Amino acid sequence: MTAPIPPVVQAFLESLLTEQGLSPRTLEAYQRDLSLLTAFADSIHKPLDQLTESDLVAFAGWAGSRGYRISTLARILSAVRSFYRFLFIRRWIEQNPAAFLELPRRDRKLPPVLSTEEVVALLESIPTHTPLGIRDRALFELLYATGMRVSELIGITIDDIDFETATLMCHGKGGKYRRLPIGQVALTWLRRYISESRPILLHRRRHQFLFVNRLGKPLSRVGVWKRLKYHARMAGIETRMFPHRLRHTFATHLLEGGADLRVVQTLLGHASLQTTEMYTHVAVDRLRQATRQHPLRRMIRRKSHEVDTLPQSAEDPPYRPPNED
């Protein structure tokens, strides 16, 4: 039997829904994380609004001993901090016991990205002599050109596209919208898909969703993933492929091309610049690898080798590096 949700937690969840417009899945995650806090509070016989800073530190240790990964534990404690910030702002508590609650440090894995050559190989490997092939070419051209999330991609409608301005209205997380530019290549394939393929795939069905499957129904997330995996395999891309990888690639290629970080943040729809900053590490690593092939670097290496192989005269003292104090 599911334990009842405490009134203070219920009020917090309702505020997340009405004031921030979070999705049902995100609300479920908050509720699940706070249920752990509720269980801990019950075990020490204290209501949630009377827990102290010491209690929350003990809770962090208690939650950590349950075998959660660092990323999961950080998410749980982040939910706890948001919860008590809400209670404090509403003046339901006099002091915020979670104000100095630290999150465990976690190493962010750098997202894998495709090279420009791999992107070209992927897109050009898609056969475009069938309605599904034209749809897939338009689909993945648009995904790479905009960096949208796959959930945003499958939610696009015909009315969201403005061919005159070469932009589309993207429905992002939390009910937020952003207008994205569409590259000329993606726009060309979109026109062809809408005029040639989509009417055939619809089978007389009528709805406004842009991308449809072979039955004329809106394309699903799984459908996008399966088609991308198939075309990547046909292109000879051996690494694991998923739609979000094209989003990572889009962001990294923009930064490598000199785009401003805040512009990339806006295009990706990130609420925090910190989220976007992880792509700078990827871009720097790739740029560092590229500079190793720079002609000047190769010339310096060759000259250095020539100097090392020159014979020394008997009068030349052996070289010793200076002491570094």
Catalytic site residue 279?
yes
Identify the active-site residue in 171, 244, 281, 286: 244
Residue pLDDT, tens place only, 220-278: 999 999 999 999 999 999 888 888 889 889 888 888 787 777 788 888 887 776 667 66
Give me the percent of the chain exceeding a pLDDT of 90: 40
**230 classed as catalytic:** no
172 close to 155: Cβ distance less than 8 angstroms = no
Active-site pick, 137, 227, 231, 270: 270
Q: State mean pLDDT over 43-72.
A: 86
pLDDT-above-70 percentage for the chain? 81
- Is 270 part of the annotated catalytic residue set? yes
105 is catalytic: no
Q: Which of 30-34, 65-69, 299-303 has the lowest mean pLDDT?
A: 299-303
Q: What is the DSSP string of 156-199?
A: -BGGGEETTTTEEEEE-GGG-EEEEE--HHHHHHHHHIIIIIHH
Which domains does the chain possess? 7-89 (1.10.150.130), 116-288 (1.10.443.10)
Look at residue 62 and tell me whether its pLDDT is greater than 50.
Answer: yes
Classify each residue of 215-233 as buried b or exposed e, where b means 16 or more C-beta atoms within 10 Å of its C-beta: ebebbeeebbeebbeebbe
Question: How many whole angstroms from its chain centre is CA 128?
Answer: 29
pLDDT score for 129? 94
Q: Which residue has the higher pLDDT, 301 or 176?
A: 176
102-150 pLDDT tens trace: 777 655 565 678 999 999 999 999 999 999 999 999 999 999 999 999 9
pLDDT for the residue numbered 185:
94
The model's pTM: 0.57
Name the active-site residue from 81, 231, 247, 248.
247
Rounded CA separation 4/7 (Å): 9
Residue with tokens 């990323």: 71
pLDDT for 287 equals 46
Residues 6+ apart with CB under 8 A from 152: 170, 171, 172, 269
Band of residue 285 on the pLDDT scale cut at 50, 70, 90: low
Residue 239 tokens, joined: 């690494």
Find the range with the poorest average confidence among 10-14, 61-65, 209-213: 61-65
Q: What is the pLDDT of residue 18?
A: 84
**Does the structure show a pLDDT above 60 at 300?**
no
Given a cut of 70, whether residue 305 has pLDDT beyond it is no
Among 149, 198, 227, 248, the active-site one is 149
Give CA angle at 206 (201, 212), nearest 5°: 35
**Is the distance from CB of 112 to CB of 203 less than 8 angstroms?**
no
Q: Which of 88-97, 193-202, 273-282, 295-304 has the highest mean pLDDT?
A: 193-202
Structure-token pair, residue 274: 């910190």
pLDDT band at 301 (very low <50, low <70, confident <90, very high): very low
Task: Please determine, for residue 99, whether its predicted confidence score (pLDDT) is greater than 50.
Answer: yes
**CA 277 to chain centroid:** 11
Residue type, 18: T
Averaged pLDDT, 188-193: 96
- Tokens matching residue 186: 């993606």
DSSP code per residue over 30-76: HHHHHHHHHHHHHHTT--GGG--HHHHHHHHHHHHTTT--HHHHHHH
Question: Which sign does the torsion angle of CA 41, 45, 48, 52 carry?
Answer: negative
Between residues 67 and 118, which one has the greater pLDDT?
Answer: 118
Catalytic residue, from 30, 84, 144, 279: name it.
279
Q: What is the pLDDT of residues 195-213, one digit of tens each?
A: 999 999 998 888 899 999 9
Among 74, 29, 77, CA closest to 57: 77
Residue 14 C-alpha from the chain's centroid: 26
